[in-house]
Amino acid sequence: MTINVTTLPSGLRIVTHSMREMETVSLGIWIGAGARNETKAEHGISHLLEHMAFKGTTRRTALAIAEEIESAGGDLNAATSVEYTSYQARLLAQDSGLALDILADILTQSTFEPAELEREKGVIIQEIGEALDTPDDVIFDIFNDAAYPDQPIGRPILGTPETVSSFDAQALRHYLQRNYTKGCAVVAAAGALDHQRIVDETAARFDSLPATSTALPPATYRGGDVSMKRKLEQTHVVIGFESASYNDPTTYAAHVFSNVVGGGMSSRLFQEVREKRGLAYTIYSFQWGYADTGLFGFYAAASAKDVPELTSVALDCMVQTALSLTNEELLRAKAQAKVSLLTALESPAARADQIARQMLAFGRLVSREEMVERIDALALEEVRAAGLAALRTTPTVAVVGDVKKAPRSQDVARRLAGV
Amino acid sequence: MTINVTTLPSGLRIVTHSMREMETVSLGIWIGAGARNETKAEHGISHLLEHMAFKGTTRRTALAIAEEIESAGGDLNAATSVEYTSYQARLLAQDSGLALDILADILTQSTFEPAELEREKGVIIQEIGEALDTPDDVIFDIFNDAAYPDQPIGRPILGTPETVSSFDAQALRHYLQRNYTKGCAVVAAAGALDHQRIVDETAARFDSLPATSTALPPATYRGGDVSMKRKLEQTHVVIGFESASYNDPTTYAAHVFSNVVGGGMSSRLFQEVREKRGLAYTIYSFQWGYADTGLFGFYAAASAKDVPELTSVALDCMVQTALSLTNEELLRAKAQAKVSLLTALESPAARADQIARQMLAFGRLVSREEMVERIDALALEEVRAAGLAALRTTPTVAVVGDVKKAPRSQDVARRLAGV
């Protein structure tokens, strides 16, 4: 396995991981901007831009984009998140030049034809409807909004039917010009590839992307309550707290804490809530790092009548982990983290995503050895402290379904007082 | 890459794919029985048994099972489908023996303790609730039931709260004894492994599984209508037909037909429904083969007011593909199928699943070369004929959401008359 990084004269970085025995390559361009970079009036425009990238350029119609890549047997995917937007192709190694040509074309020469734009807004309004119909999607949207109210980091990535309907080509260009900059972009590839060939094929292709970009707006975690009354079989609950950003020295401790709380079958949440009490089928914890903030919490779906007991047991699990994490649990979480790192290395698509995000987040690659070293070095006290730090922030409580017996943020805070 | 097959004296087959450069192995046992093997009174027992396998054996408590595998950094997964049940572990190569010991233990020594059984029934009733709350899950459950009414192949895999509640340890043992037989089981592994070591570690471990098994009950496709009125943002629609089983000589043609209709961004459904008309965010076609039958159809979610137009356009796409499939489309679908095969080969978990299912379905491994040859050999006429054959069967129409303007099976049949 060989990893290479090249910075072009334009400032665009190229990072590749050549994996022998693979016959396909996963490659793309990652932009260090997403929903978080939107102004209030731009809510949803990052995601609309990602859709519109496939809707025609000065050189290719939307149909030609789809046909060229699929005629080579490949596929194109794109994703918009809070801090990143990615455009990724998977295809035979011999066709990497085609993929890069299409990626450069859609990022620098999109035409945003009015008729295409209107139709795509309609498609996104359907996508918003789908998310609203999916309880375990919509609950995270309202949870984020309650954690970071009135801030782009907390707003749903898809936007609202109203904001999406309001955008024109000018607004898309304005957002693109501000955020899709060479310094905030990384071309990454993993699988069957030759680094120099990828560098040559990238060459001057993205040169017309702008050079400078504006800073990320800071985020302020607040917490509080949000609920959505729905007639459902289950009540869906997310309770969370502010935790480590990925730039924080405690980020590894925060991840291990979350894994012990609710990462696997042997985790405390799984054992106490599902195995001992049979209260839920799905229950897990999460730790998401952003550039300057982070969120830790758990999600569960249960019968409305069981939500009070489930909440109480889950909060106890969190507190007990922070107070009495055992060495055995720590060793288990470390072993799981290390095998997960290996597994991520084995898939070209996941690996390209990993190295691209590392370059954008840290300006360098973080080797598996370094990650393993940091995980191995974690002491019990550090992991407990990371948990305690989160549990001492204001709780964010989101509920979807029958909300009558739903927990409230202040009840959660009261229960955690003194921890 | 080296593939090996060994049949133990007991009749149990072991198939492995050694992949260099991998550090982890994905291995497990696949049983050639699933929901389809249930009697009416057993509805949901395959899935309950899969859950109960993790709930304690004569040698290990449920907690010990989770802790042993996760202390090695690994994880355990299981899945129940219509014709298969699988138990799969992912962990470091050095720990394959541990995984096989646990897998054999849970399949041959489970105790089905009454208290554990009662709790797990509660967990599954929660899982049923989650599925009911997820429109794009529940629609396929009701679709299958309408396609194969009053038959185990058509019943929801999870069972109903009533049937799940009714099972005891005796019922589980009875189902297990009838279906978890050595001749219907395959141990498969892919990734970092040594075939002989896997054979030695499997050794006599599964010998107490019974030897013979009963035949699969035949399936009779019928078709018709089913709908579920729900207050949702979108109306979800599945329209399908009977198509090729995986044992049918036309199975490759049926898969290619489905891909041309709605497999990718350049497919007819995606272009006509989403790109040209903006009627849906999600629309795709499917071709599922079973041992003696198969289903072809499409799924879409759209505004209720657009469902009639969407249905009409989608049916036209299907008919036009069957009547006027172009050579260019065929070549594109062939290229996509071939790259997909390569991609599937690259992931240990997917690869283990693929070789296990091939052994169960065909009694032999089907090489990538053989699959590519069969795809390359497909003529336009064969693919059109596979599509026509499906479109001439009785339509199955399933709708969830606002069902007022929903299509009916007889309207679909009328529209397709004469094709």
Q: What is the mean pLDDT of residues B34-49?
A: 97
Distance (Å) of CA B410 to CA B269, B315, B415? 22, 13, 9
Considering only CB atoms, which chain B residues are within 8 Å of A342?
23-24, 92
| pLDDT of res. A18 | 96
For CA atoms A78, A79, A80, A82, the dihedral sign is negative
Tokens at A304, concatenated? 């409305």
The whole-angstrom separation of Cα B106 and Cα B91 is 18
Residue B25 near residue B96 (C-beta atoms within 8 A): yes
Greatest alpha-carbon pair distance for chain B in Å reads: 64
Give residues with Cβ within 8 angstroms of B184, minimum separation 6: B31, B32, B33, B213, B360
Tokens at B91, concatenated? 């962990």
C-alpha angle B357-B359-B378 in degrees, rounded to nearest 5:
75
| pLDDT of res. B1 | 61
Q: Closest Cα partner for A205 from A112, A99, A113, A111?
A: A99
Rg (CA), chain A: 22
B window 256-285, beta carbon within 8 A of A:
264-266, 270-271, 274-282
Considering only CB atoms, which chain B residues are within 8 Å of A345?
23
Considering only CB atoms, which chain B residues are within 8 Å of A330?
none
Phi, psi (deg, nearest 5) at residue A79:
-150, 140
Closest Cα in chain B, distance from residue A409 (Å): 25
Domain boundaries, chain A: 2-202, 224-416
**What SS3 string covers B169-202?**
HHHHHHHHHHHCCHHHEEEEEEECCCHHHHHHHH
Q: Closest Cα partner for A276 from B8, B123, B414?
A: B123
Give residues with Cβ within 8 angstroms of B393, minimum separation 6: B221, B223, B241, B242, B243
Size of interface A-B (CB pairs under 8 A): 211
B93 reaches A (C-beta below 8 A): no
CB contact under 8 A, A342 and B24: yes
Considering only CB atoms, which chain B residues are within 8 Å of A280?
123, 126
pLDDT greater than 90 at residue B143: yes
Considering only CB atoms, which chain A residues are within 8 Å of B128?
233
Superfamily of structural domain A2-202: Metalloenzyme, LuxS/M16 peptidase-like (3.30.830.10)
- The DSSP H or E segment spanning B32 is none
Distance (Å) of CA A214 to CA A29, A32, A150, A333, A358? 19, 11, 20, 38, 20
What are the pLDDT digits (tens) for A126-176? 999 999 999 999 999 999 999 999 999 999 999 999 999 999 999 999 999
pLDDT greater than 90 at residue B211: no
Beta strands B294-302 and B283-289, pairing class: antiparallel
Beta bridge partners of B28: B88, B188
Closest Cα in chain A, distance from residue B304 (Å): 11
The whole-angstrom separation of Cα B154 and Cα B151 is 6
**What SS3 string covers chain A?**
CEEEEEECCCCCEEEEEECCCCCEEEEEEEECCCHHHCCHHHCCHHHHHHHHCCCCECCCCHHHHHHHHHHCCCEEEEEECCCCEEEEEEEEHHHHHHHHHHHHHHHHCECCCHHHHHHHHHHHHHHHHHHHCCHHHHHHHHHHHHHCCCCHHHCCCCCCHHHHHHCCHHHHHHHHHHHCCHHHEEEEEEECCCHHHHHHHHCCCCCCCCCCCCCCCCCCCCCEEEEEECCCCCEEEEEEEECCCCCCCCHHHHHHHHHHHHCCCCCHHHHHHHHCCCCCCCEEEEEEECCCCEEEEEEEEECHHHHHHHHHHHHHHHHHHHHHCCHHHHHHHHHHHHHHHHHHHHCHHHHHHHHHHHHHHHCCCCCHHHHHHHHHCCCHHHHHHHHHHHHCCCCEEEEEECCCCCCCHHHHHHHHCCC
CB contact under 8 A, B331 and A71: yes
What are the pLDDT digits (tens) for B371-396? 999 999 999 999 999 999 999 999 99
Phi, psi (deg, nearest 5) at residue A133:
-80, -5
Selecting from A65, A124, A130 the residue whose C-beta is nearest the C-beta of B234 gives: A130
Q: What is the DSSP track for B382-400? A: HHHHHHHHHHTSPPEEEEE
Q: Which is the catalytic residue, given B38, B50, B83, B120? A: B50
Closest Cα in chain A, distance from residue B20 (Å): 8
CB contact under 8 A, A278 and B119: yes
Give residues with Cβ within 8 angstroms of B355, minimum separation 6: B3, B15, B16, B17, B188, B190, B365
Residue B336 near residue B169 (C-beta atoms within 8 A): no
Tokens at A45, concatenated? 């425009």
CB contact under 8 A, B278 and A72: no
Burial B85-123 (b: 16+ CB within 10 A, else e): bbbbbbbbbebbebbbebbbbbbbebbbbeebbebbbbb
| pLDDT of res. A1 | 61
Residue B155 near residue B81 (C-beta atoms within 8 A): no
CB contact under 8 A, A92 and B339: yes
CB contact under 8 A, B335 and A71: yes
Burial class (CB in 10 A: 0-12, 13-18, 19+), A40: exposed
Give residues with Cβ within 8 angstroms of B307, minimum separation 6: B235, B237, B399, B405, B406, B407
- The DSSP H or E segment spanning B72 is none
Q: Which is the catalytic residue, given A42, A50, A329, A382? A: A50
Burial class (CB in 10 A: 0-12, 13-18, 19+), B160: middle
Tokens at A291, concatenated? 């550039």
pLDDT greater than 80 at residue B214: no
Considering only CB atoms, which chain A residues are within 8 Å of B75?
264-265, 336
CB contact under 8 A, B343 and A90: yes
Considering only CB atoms, which chain A residues are within 8 Å of B73?
335-340
CB contact under 8 A, B132 and A233: yes
pLDDT bin (cut points 50, 70, 90) of residue B62 is: very high
Selecting from B70, B233, B279 the residue whose C-beta is nearest the C-beta of A265 gives: B70
Considering only CB atoms, which chain A residues are within 8 Å of B22?
346
Amino acid identity at A181:
T
A348 reaches B (C-beta below 8 A): yes
C-alpha angle B134-A340-B56 in degrees, rounded to nearest 5:
70
What does each of the 419 residues of chain A score in pLDDT, given as a tens digit?
Answer: 699 999 999 999 999 999 988 989 999 999 999 999 999 999 999 999 999 999 999 999 999 999 999 999 999 999 999 999 999 999 999 999 999 999 999 999 999 999 999 999 999 999 999 999 999 999 999 999 999 999 999 999 999 999 999 999 999 999 999 999 999 999 999 999 999 999 999 988 999 999 877 788 899 999 999 999 999 999 999 999 999 999 999 999 999 999 999 999 999 999 999 999 999 999 999 999 999 999 999 999 999 999 999 999 999 999 999 999 999 999 999 999 999 988 888 889 999 999 999 999 999 999 999 999 999 999 999 999 999 999 999 999 999 999 998 999 999 999 999 88
B25 reaches A (C-beta below 8 A): no
Q: What is the mean pLDDT of residues B301-320?
A: 97
Is B83 known to be catalytic?
no
B135 reaches A (C-beta below 8 A): yes
pTM: 0.95
Considering only CB atoms, which chain B residues are within 8 Å of A118?
278
CATH topology identical between A2-202 and A224-416: yes
Most B CBs within 10 Å: which of A50, A87, A118, A275, as the mutation test of the B interface? A275
| pLDDT of res. B42 | 97
Beta strands A2-7 and B185-191, pairing class: unpaired
A169 reaches B (C-beta below 8 A): no
Q: Closest Cα partner for A409 from A300, A315, A277?
A: A315
Check residue B112 and report its DSSP letter: -
Burial class (CB in 10 A: 0-12, 13-18, 19+), A58: exposed
Selecting from B20, B23, B133 the residue whose C-beta is nearest the C-beta of A21 gives: B20
Give residues with Cβ within 8 angstroms of B268, minimum separation 6: B260, B261, B262, B317, B320, B321
Closest Cα in chain B, distance from residue A183 (Å): 31
pLDDT bin (cut points 50, 70, 90) of residue B350 is: very high
Greatest alpha-carbon pair distance for chain A in Å reads: 64
Burial class (CB in 10 A: 0-12, 13-18, 19+), A174: middle
| Category of B381 on φ-ψ map: left (φ > 0), alpha (ψ -120 to 50) or beta | alpha
For CA atoms B99, B103, B104, B105, the dihedral sign is positive
The whole-angstrom separation of Cα A86 and Cα A294 is 21
Most A CBs within 10 Å: which of B265, B269, B313, B369, as the mutation test of the A interface? B265
CB contact under 8 A, B124 and A281: yes
Residue B1 near residue B19 (C-beta atoms within 8 A): yes
Residue A1 near residue A361 (C-beta atoms within 8 A): no
Distance (Å) of CA A250 to CA A232, A256, A387, B135? 39, 10, 10, 40
The whole-angstrom separation of Cα B273 and Cα A118 is 15
Give residues with Cβ within 8 angstroms of A239, minimum separation 6: A297, A298, A311, A314, A315, A395, A396, A397, A398, A407, A412
CB contact under 8 A, A133 and B1: no
Q: What is the mean pLDDT of residues B249-255?
A: 97
| pLDDT of res. A418 | 86
The domain defined by A224-416 folds into Cytochrome Bc1 Complex; Chain A, domain 1 (3.30.830)
Residue A265 near residue B56 (C-beta atoms within 8 A): no
